A and B are shown apart, each in its own frame.
Chain A
Amino acid sequence: MVQQPPSEGATEAAGETPPPPPTDIDLVIERFPGSFVPSWRYADRMPTVRVLPEHIRQAISWLRHECPTRYDMLVDVGGSHWPDRDEPFEVTYIVHSMTTNARIRVKCAVAAHGDELPVIPSIALIWSAANWPEREIYDMFGVEFTDHPDLRRILTPNDWEGHPLRKDFPLGEEPVEFYRTASAGA
């Protein structure tokens, strides 16, 4: 239902059909070494690219200021925690272009070493809209954003222990009968 420009190769392995002009995803991959299209089902058909953490700031800045399609609105910055993956902490940025109504999802994933918090460069200095969402991710997932102007907890109290949206944070509910546990389905 969401209108998107044709995004061949955004969800499958890219490059089967020779003629189409490079999409913005291709340009990002070309420009920032180490970025790739994750092999994952994006049911909303939004073109998605994953970049290395050290490139995230340049990548977002490039999409906003230099990319042929100017992505001038930062729609969302959200975190997620996948304990089974090699890089369990994932931050997702969604940018929108006012001129073409195209959207791109940029992902960035990092691992935590020992008890230290995982670290991702902050984009709040180049895009103020990311300020509070990054604080929220810091609060909820314990991802540290370097060079963030004001990295404090935002929703939980200052003396709160732990990061509630991490999968190892207890829910504090009683177990319910007849539930399949995670990853047993489909």
Chain B
Amino acid sequence: MVMLEDTRTESGRMVLNMGPQHPSTHGVLRLMLELEGENVTQCIPDMGYLHTGIEKMSEARNYHQALVLTDRIDYLAPITNNLSYIMACEKLFDVGDKVPERAQVVRVLLSELTRIASHLIWLGTHALDLGAMTVFMYCWREREQILDIMENISGVRMMTSFMRIGGLVADVPDDFAGLVADFVRVMPRKIDEYETLLSRNPIFIDRTRGVGVITRDGALEYGFSGSCLRASGVEFDVRVNLPYCGYETYDFDVAWSKEGDVYARYMVRMREMRESVRIIDQGAKRLLALKGAAIRLDDPRITFPKREKIHSSMESLIHHFKLVSEGPVPLPGEAYAAVESPRGEQATYIMSDGSNMPHRVRFRGPSFYNLQVLQHTIAGGLVADVVACIGSIDIVLGEIDR
């Protein structure tokens, strides 16, 4: 932790403490800024205020139980966290390629819905930081629609924990298709609406063009991923480059840009939302075609017996008890699984020693790597640009501090 010494250093520079309770640091990020007039000469980020020890806790849970912790890492995109954790488990249990297709389609659908919901929060708060209040309200309105869909399938609006090793916890309800269709119908027009407010807004452009520029080499040097990396001219998307859940069979484009400034990151995410809507549309059609298909793998090592069978068969009851109390037991080994979360490459790295609990679980949070570059882009800029830079990197402190 950095300590504040004098508020005024010997060279006449002022040390300003920003955060951890500052609204535009998007959580509990603390920045130590050294200012010379209005110019930032140095920036030292300080985090850990939200450290919850999720990795340590996962080592004391069995493979099913640790799932609910993953929702809380990147709390704006719980589904993608679930997915990377579940995919790592599936690899560990050697069932990665046996997950039923309907489950894969729902996973893709939910991931993309989450991506839009997360980007809407980013857009709303980012615009709010730069003084555009209306966008914030609009974004919340559409995000509500996504949260309603989440509530409809799982009963929970945010921390759904809807995935299970080998598939999903339950099938989606019948009216899910209708809700998704409604969303797909309205969303493109809503994105147009946001764009009319921002994309050609001279104030927004002045605040974002040429601000916080990160070059291609810089992005690779600092381990960028996700939209930030793509805005710096690297066409890398886990969904395309290392496809999972059948993403290679969907028709969508990877949004990218060469400029690498705050505006480029804005444009990339806006285009990404449109592409997500396209994927959701295709996924919803596939879901109709797969009506009634299995949503979970039938593997007694990891999946629970059917509820009806528990009531009538002793063996199923014992099976259920064993899976709940002891949990599934993989062979010793390790597995790394990455997904494209709204912020970048979100990965789970599980090491097993052959017991019922993971020996080590590591969560690779994209924000943790993306934030590293912040101190270098902010230094030399203006104080007012600090909030623009933080907002454009789209950090979630839950994921940085874990």
Binding site for B on A (CB under 8 A): 1-3, 40-44, 46, 72-76, 78, 80-82, 92, 94, 98, 101, 103, 105, 127-133, 136, 140, 153-158, 164-165, 169, 171, 173, 177-186
Query: A105: which of B225, B329, B336, B353 is its contact (CB, 8 Å)?
Result: B336
CB-CB under 8 A for A164 and B56, given A41-B334, A73-B223, A155-B401:
yes
Query: A94: which of B56, B62, B336, B353 is its contact (CB, 8 Å)?
Result: B336
Question: Given the complex of chains A and B, what is the CA–CA distance between A184 and B329 in angstroms?
Answer: 10
Whether the pair A164, B53 counts as a contact (CB closer than 8 A) is: yes
Question: Given the complex of chains A and B, what is the CA–CA distance between A52 and B92 in angstroms?
Answer: 27
- Which residues between 91 and 134 of chain B lie within 8 Å of chain A, taking CB atoms? 91-92, 94, 96-97
B93 to chain A, nearest CB (A): 8
CB-CB under 8 A for A185 and B336, given A76-B347, A180-B355:
no
Whether the pair A132, B368 counts as a contact (CB closer than 8 A) is: yes
Question: Given the complex of chains A and B, what is the CA–CA distance between A23 and B265 in angstroms?
Answer: 37
Whether the pair B332, A41 counts as a contact (CB closer than 8 A) is: yes
Whether the pair B372, A129 counts as a contact (CB closer than 8 A) is: yes
Over the window 330-359 of chain B, the binary record of Cβ atoms lying under 8 Å from chain A Cβ atoms (1 yes, 0 no) is: 111111111000000101010101111101
Whether the pair B364, A75 counts as a contact (CB closer than 8 A) is: yes
Whether the pair A43, B1 counts as a contact (CB closer than 8 A) is: no
- Residues of the A chain whose Cβ atoms lie less than 8 Å from the Cβ of B371: 132
- Residues of the B chain whose Cβ atoms lie less than 8 Å from the Cβ of A101: 241-242
Whether the pair B222, A182 counts as a contact (CB closer than 8 A) is: no
Query: B357: which of A43, A105, A182 is its contact (CB, 8 Å)?
Result: A182
Query: B354: which of A75, A136, A185 is its contact (CB, 8 Å)?
Result: A185
A76 to chain B, nearest CB (A): 5
A46 to chain B, nearest CB (A): 6
**B interface bracket (residues with beta carbon within 8 Å of A):** 35 or more
Question: Given the complex of chains A and B, what is the CA–CA distance between A94 and B369 in angstroms?
Answer: 14
Known: A178-B326, A183-B355. 7 other contacts (CB 8 A): A40-B334, A43-B94, A81-B360, A98-B220, A98-B234, A131-B372, A182-B353
Question: Given the complex of chains A and B, what is the CA–CA distance between A157 and B349 in angstroms?
Answer: 25
Whether the pair B349, A76 counts as a contact (CB closer than 8 A) is: yes
- Residues of the B chain whose Cβ atoms lie less than 8 Å from the Cβ of A133: 368-369
Whether the pair B326, A156 counts as a contact (CB closer than 8 A) is: no
B178 is an interface residue with CB less than 8 A from chain A: no
Kindly name the residue among A2, A80, A154 whose own CB sees the greatest number of chain B CB atoms within 10 A. A2
Whether the pair B55, A165 counts as a contact (CB closer than 8 A) is: yes
Whether the pair A156, B353 counts as a contact (CB closer than 8 A) is: no
B362 is an interface residue with CB less than 8 A from chain A: yes
Whether the pair B47, A155 counts as a contact (CB closer than 8 A) is: yes
Whether the pair B360, A44 counts as a contact (CB closer than 8 A) is: no
Question: Given the complex of chains A and B, what is the CA–CA distance between A3 and B220 in angstroms?
Answer: 21
B293 is an interface residue with CB less than 8 A from chain A: no
Query: B223: which of A41, A78, A129 is its contact (CB, 8 Å)?
Result: A129
B244 is an interface residue with CB less than 8 A from chain A: yes
Whether the pair B372, A132 counts as a contact (CB closer than 8 A) is: yes
Question: Given the complex of chains A and B, what is the CA–CA distance between A47 and B253 in angstroms?
Answer: 29
**Of all chain A residues, which has the CB nearest B329?**
A185
Question: Given the complex of chains A and B, what is the CA–CA distance between A76 and B1 in angstroms?
Answer: 24
